[in-house]
Amino acid sequence: MSTFPDKFRLDGRTALVTGSGRGLGWEMAKGLAEAGARVLLHGRSLARLAPRLAELRAAGRAADAIAFEMADRAAMAAALSEIGPIDILIHNVGERDRRPFTEIAADDFARLVDTDLSAGQALIKLVVPGMVQRGWGRLILVTSIAAELATPGASSYIAAKAGLAALARALAAEFAATGITSNAISPGFFATETNEALIASPAGEKMRLRCPSKRWAEPWEIAGAALFLASPAAAYVNGHTLTVDGGVTATYLS
């Protein structure tokens, strides 16, 4: 007899998590795998993904890996044509360009928006037809609290992340009747590998104090949000941005 906690299980589902070789992508992928999903790790290089893939398989999890550059649409399509149906897509890949607006050339702006936003749209177009056909799917787009709380020196990143949140809402309106939900996750200050230098800096300490929780989040703390939105338990959650930030965006000053 099934119980309510069973609604958080993902047995029989296949989940693709882009940018899952490290950081938040890895934590989300690991969480979904532990909930029973077959997880497809994604990165630019299969060699870089190999240790993570081995870790999942050693733990008895179902996992495979695919590699392609988000900007290479032909490679993206070829990779997805070989892996079978995707039930859950978490689009996590995101690049940053930390320069003042006046120093970012138009081509550089367009390139980052293409990687962070347009590539997600291209990927969704490849997986959605199968979801519609099967009458079930989960689209989860990883944005950022920077999409709502802007900061100097990140204009292209902020624009792309805000676009992802809007895209999640648009897809929710368009596909809800087909059994597909579309949502976003908005992380706050997470202590990932890429943020190590920032955390140790005066700016990082200021960010820690800005958070009502008075700490940076541990990377694994993103996994619960991803699992919830991917699971049957969230079947009626649609077009929502789930913020995981320790209360930063809920406060004016702290």
Q: What percent of the chain lies above the pLDDT cut of 90?
A: 92
Q: For residue 254, is pLDDT > 90? A: no
pLDDT band at 2 (very low <50, low <70, confident <90, very high): confident
Q: For residue 194, is pLDDT > 90? A: no
191 by DSSP, 3-state: which? coil
pTM, full prediction: 0.95
Higher pLDDT, 153 or 10: 10
Q: For residue 143, is pLDDT > 70? A: yes
Q: What pLDDT score does 252 carry? A: 85
Task: Give me the active site residues, please.
Answer: 157
Structure tokens at 164: 């992802």
- What are the structural domain ranges in the chain? 8-237
Q: What pLDDT score does 95 carry? A: 85
Q: Are 175 and 239 in contact (CB under 8 A)?
A: no
Q: What percent of the chain lies above the pLDDT cut of 70?
A: 100
Distances from the Cα of 233 to the Cα of 30, 179, 229, angstroms: 19, 13, 8
Q: What is the pLDDT of residues 39-89, one digit of tens each?
A: 999 999 999 999 999 999 999 999 999 999 999 999 999 999 999 999 999
Q: What is the pLDDT of residues 208-233, one digit of tens each?
A: 999 999 999 999 999 999 999 999 99
Q: Which superfamily, per CATH, for 8-237?
A: NAD(P)-binding Rossmann-like Domain (3.40.50.720)
